[in-house]
Each structure stands twice: as structure tokens, then as C-alpha cells.
């Protein structure tokens, strides 16, 4: 399409401040930055501090500081989800106006599986008598939503059959992640969502929200998630350690190798600007392994 060539590519890295930058988050940062910058675009950072109880004090600053030491740079101020309540509430109101959201009075126990089961539709046609509204749910359609992922291929889901009417505003009044991420990507004018493949399954839900809210579509690329030898996603809880920025070159080269980019053996020893030059001019999304997860040991 002719409009595609005129569009500025904008990517983003959106960590949750639950711990320091580790190898798994470095891989996601690297893939998203290179996909945007190799195409002459911009790369932004968003801190997904939506869930204050899960947050670790100082983690946002630690992540941003580490990114800087690794040679990442972003041309616009960091967006913090904790400051976006008004935008989320506007999107929730819009969904209600469109008839695409309804109040649910069910407890997590009633929905089953701690609130993670498929919603049985109890409050879909109105709150049962005597019930208070607790959470706001999206009224999902009974049709397949298809996403063409640039790495993982086509992903399709019938939202009604698989996710059911999912929560967009939680009982604790916080915006649900699925909605926040779509609202923020649109506000930051993101064109290319490049992130870990653990988020692939929620992409049809986000894609549907994006369409219904009238936002421009995003291109998606889900890169393999770094796991432990036991197959657990690398995270603070699974023993992921903070990366030492004084070994930035080595870690960047390992990240590039993980992403299938085959860096030359001497790359790790070069100065950071030269590593980034190589990475930007050699980046190829086609070489990223088409797997959802890859075990890795330090």
C-alpha cells in the first residue's frame, strides 16, 4: 500500500517494574528497538506500572538506567501507565457507549479458576438482582479474530469460545492490561508491536479492542521468550539476575545471537556504537527463530 511507505515506523519496549533488566527483557528491548530503528523509525519506552502492589520500588529507574548504559536511546519522554487513568477510563466509557462492555457482579470464585476461567456470561444481559457492579467486561463477538504475526505466522481465536467476555476494568478499579496496552500503543502512535511470544495468545483480544476503538492497526512480531532450562520464563522469580552494564557488549552480542542474527565472534569486544551500527544494519526479522520459547543458560 502506498500509505505504508509514508508511515514512520514506531516501536516500543514496555517493561513492568517488577525487577531489574535481565537477559529476557534485554532480548525484548533489543528486538523492538532494532525492528524500528533498522527501518529508520523511532523506538519508545513505556513503563507498565499498572499494578502498584506488584511493583518493586526503584525498579523503573533501574531499568531505564540500565537501558541507557546498554546504548539504548529514546527520543520521547517515557510513558508511565500509572499516569494514564483518565485515558483508560475514556476508553472504558467508549466501549460502554458502543455496547461492547457491561458491568459484572461476579466474584473471582464464581467465575472459576481464580477468575481466569472463561466467563459464563452471567451478567451479560444485566446485573442479576442484588448484585453490585464489580468489574467491567468486554462483550466479545462469536467470530474468529485473525492476527498475522510476522514471526509466528497466523494466529486466530474465536474470542467468545476461548477468552469469553474478558475484564477491561478490574474490581480494584485498575484498568486491565489488555485494554491499557492497546490504549497506550495508540497514544504513543506505535506502528509495530514487537514483544515476547508469551503475549501472543492475548493478541487477538487486543487486536479486536483496537478495531472496535477505531485505532489504527499495529503490525505484530512475537519473538521467542527466554526460558530457564526447565522451560520457565526468565523473570525475577525464576532466578533471572540483573545484567552487568560494564559487560554491555557481551550481553548485546548474546541477545543478537539468541534472536538468530549470527553476530560475528568479535562483535562483543567492539565499542558500543559499533555494536549498534552492526546490529541495525544487519537486523532481519526473518532470521528470528519461529518459536515461542527457547531455553537458555547463562
Interface residue list for Zn ion (CB under 5 A): 104, 106, 122-123
Q: Are 259 and 282 in contact (CB under 8 A)?
A: no
Closest distance of CB 122 from Zn ion, Å: 4
Q: Which is nearer to Zn ion, 41 or 105 (CB)?
A: 105
DSSP 112: S
Closest distance of CB 207 from Zn ion, Å: 24
Q: Which is nearer to Zn ion, 26 or 123 (CB)?
A: 123
Q: Which is nearer to Zn ion, 106 or 275 (CB)?
A: 106
Closest distance of CB 107 from Zn ion, Å: 9
User: Which of 216, 102, 212 lies closest to 166 in space, CA to CA?
Assistant: 102
For 215-259, what is the HEC assignment? CCCCEEEEECEEECCCCCECCHHHCCCCCCHHHHHHHHHHHHHHC
Closest distance of CB 109 from Zn ion, Å: 12
Q: Are 286 and 34 in contact (CB under 8 A)?
A: no
Extract the C-alpha cell encoding 211: 478495531
Closest distance of CB 128 from Zn ion, Å: 8
At 192 the three-state DSSP class reads strand
Q: Which is nearer to Zn ion, 106 or 268 (CB)?
A: 106
Q: Which is nearer to Zn ion, 76 or 110 (CB)?
A: 110
Amino acid at each position: 500500500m502506498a500509505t505504508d511507505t509514508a508511515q514512520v515506523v514506531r516501536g516500543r519496549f514496555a517493561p513492568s517494574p517488577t525487577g531489574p533488566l535481565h537477559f529476557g527483557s534485554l532480548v525484548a528491548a533489543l528486538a523492538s528497538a532494532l525492528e524500528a530503528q533498522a527501518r529508520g523509525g523511532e523506538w519508545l519506552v513505556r513503563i507498565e506500572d499498572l499494578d502498584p502492589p506488584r511493583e518493586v520500588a526503584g525498579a523503573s529507574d533501574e531499568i531505564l538506567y540500565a537501558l541507557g548504559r546498554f546504548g539504548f536511546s529514546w527520543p520521547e519522554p517515557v510513558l508511565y501507565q500509572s499516569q494514564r487513568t483518565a485515558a483508560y477510563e475514556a476508553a472504558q466509557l467508549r466501549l460502554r457507549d458502543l455496547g461492547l462492555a457491561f458491568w459484572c457482579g461476579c466474584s473471582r470464585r464464581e467465575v472459576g479458576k481464580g477468575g481466569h476461567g472463561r466467563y459464563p456470561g452471567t451478567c451479560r444481559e444485566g446485573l442479576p438482582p442484588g448484585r453490585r457492579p464489580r468489574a467491567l467486561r468486554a462483550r466479545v463477538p462469536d467470530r474468529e479474530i485473525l492476527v498475522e504475526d510476522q514471526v509466528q505466522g497466523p494466529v486466530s481465536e474465536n474470542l467468545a469460545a476461548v477468552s469469553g467476555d474478558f475484564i477491561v476494568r478490574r474490581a480494584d478499579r485498575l484498568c486491565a492490561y489488555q485494554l491499557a496496552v492497546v490504549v497506550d500503543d495508540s497514544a504513543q502512535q506505535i506502528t509495530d508491536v514487537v514483544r515476547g511470544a508469551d503475549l501472543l495468545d492475548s493478541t487477538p483480544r487486543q487486536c479486536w479492542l483496537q478495531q472496535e476503538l477505531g485505532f489504527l492497526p499495529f503490525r505484530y512480531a512475537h519473538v521467542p521468550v527466554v526460558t530457564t532450562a526447565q522451560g520457565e520464563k526468565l523473570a525475577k522469580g525464576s532466578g533471572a539476575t540483573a545484567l552487568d552494564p560494564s559487560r554491555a557488549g557481551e550481553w548485546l552480542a548474546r541477545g543478537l545471537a539468541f534472536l538468530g542474527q549470527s553476530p560475528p565472534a568479535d562483535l562483543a569486544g567492539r565499542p558500543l556504537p559499533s555494536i549498534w551500527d552492526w546490529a541495525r544494519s544487519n537486523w532481519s526479522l526473518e532470521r528470528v527463530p519461529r518459536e515461542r520459547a527457547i531455553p537458555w543458560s547463562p
